[in-house]
């Protein structure tokens, strides 16, 4: 999928557009839950809303991980009959260009989702003791983690193709496992840990920046593995044709 094709599909598909409403609704509910019950001034004086920003940011992260993984696996495709592996078998399009086009559109789409959720995070910032630097750091962590989840979804699509039950067994359990293992074994690379600590940055290398870099590195690695998986699909198709 090229960037132009992705934008055209995005603007014409109601299911994809509805996901934006679902994201906004989830963040709206999270914001209502953490919003101070008394006056905003009293909450700021007492520090009662200091966790509001972190709660909304983590809710935003969870929603983005789920949506991006599904987008990467093409579960929101407007035409599920058009499958990536079949496209690779039938066309000589360079695989780097194919995956690169999807990655380019994924980046633009992720920016759009971040813009959609930013006002809710900004509202939580007003009562959570955060400032604009914390907002932008959190958006960077969430966006990079979303790109990694989307690339993981793409890899599952490249490996398992139309076998959706197997693909979902690979997509969600493995993604959750990677998040848990990262949180426990490498907290500096965990987006949950980074969001929890973004308001309490101390000296040393910024944890949010390290987490963002780690997530983007994972996204690049998954895209590379996707190219390899599609190359295997193309080689097997040519072997069947020649055999």
Query: Stretch 12-22: mean pLDDT, rounded?
Result: 77
How do residues 184-240 score in pLDDT, each as one tens digit?
999 989 999 999 888 775 545 578 899 999 999 999 999 999 999 999 988 888 888
Structure tokens at 148: 């990694």
Q: How confident is the model at residue 45 (pLDDT cuts 50, 70, 90)?
A: low
Asked if residue 79 has pLDDT above 80, the reply is no
Q: Which of 13-17, 97-101, 169-173 has the lowest mean pLDDT?
A: 13-17
Structure tokens at 104: 């380019």
Q: What is the pLDDT of residue 241?
A: 77
DSSP 187-225: GGG-HHHHHHHTTS--SSS-HHHHHHHHHHHHHHHHHHH
Sign of CA dihedral 37, 38, 41, 42: negative
Query: Stretch 46-51: mean pLDDT, rounded?
Result: 58
Q: What is the pLDDT of residue 160?
A: 85
- Higher-confidence residue of 236 and 49: namely 236
Q: For residues 1 and 69, what is the distance between their CA atoms, to the nearest angstrom?
A: 16
Structure tokens at 201: 């940055």
Q: What is the pLDDT of residue 78?
A: 54
Q: What is the pLDDT of residue 63?
A: 95
Contacts of 221 (CB under 8 A, 6+ apart): 151
Asked if residue 3 has pLDDT above 80, the reply is no
Q: What value does the mean pLDDT of the chain take?
A: 84
Domain ranges of the chain: 3-242
- Higher-confidence residue of 233 and 14: namely 233
Asked if residue 26 has pLDDT above 80, the reply is yes
- Higher-confidence residue of 157 and 80: namely 157
């Amino acid at each position: 999928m090229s960037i132009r094709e992705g934008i055209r599909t995005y603007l014409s598909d109601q299911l994809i557009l509805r996901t934006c409403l679902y994201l906004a609704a989830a963040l709206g509910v999270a914001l209502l839950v953490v919003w101070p019950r008394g006056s905003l001034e009293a909450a700021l004086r007492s520090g009662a809303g200091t966790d509001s920003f972190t709660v909304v940011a983590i809710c935003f992260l969870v929603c983005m991980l789920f949506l991006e993984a599904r987008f990467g696996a093409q579960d929101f495709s407007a035409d599920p009959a058009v499958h990536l592996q079949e496209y690779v078998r039938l066309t000589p399009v360079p695989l780097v260009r194919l995956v690169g086009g999807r990655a380019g559109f994924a980046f633009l789409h992720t920016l759009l989702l971040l813009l959609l959720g930013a006002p809710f995070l900004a509202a939580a910032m007003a009562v959570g003791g955060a400032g604009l630097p914390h907002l932008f750091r959190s958006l960077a962590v969430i966006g990079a983690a979303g790109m990694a989840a989307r690339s993981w979804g793409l890899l599952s699509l490249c490996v398992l193709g139309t076998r959706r039950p197997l693909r979902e067994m690979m997509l969600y359990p493995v993604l959750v496992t990677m998040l848990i293992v990262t949180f426990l074994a490498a907290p500096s690379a965990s987006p949950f840990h980074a969001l929890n600590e973004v308001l309490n940055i101390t000296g040393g290398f910024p944890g949010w920046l390290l987490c963002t870099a780690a997530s983007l590195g994972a996204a690049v690695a998954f895209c590379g593995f996707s190219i390899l998986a599609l190359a295997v699909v193309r080689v097997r198709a040519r072997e069947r044709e020649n055999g």
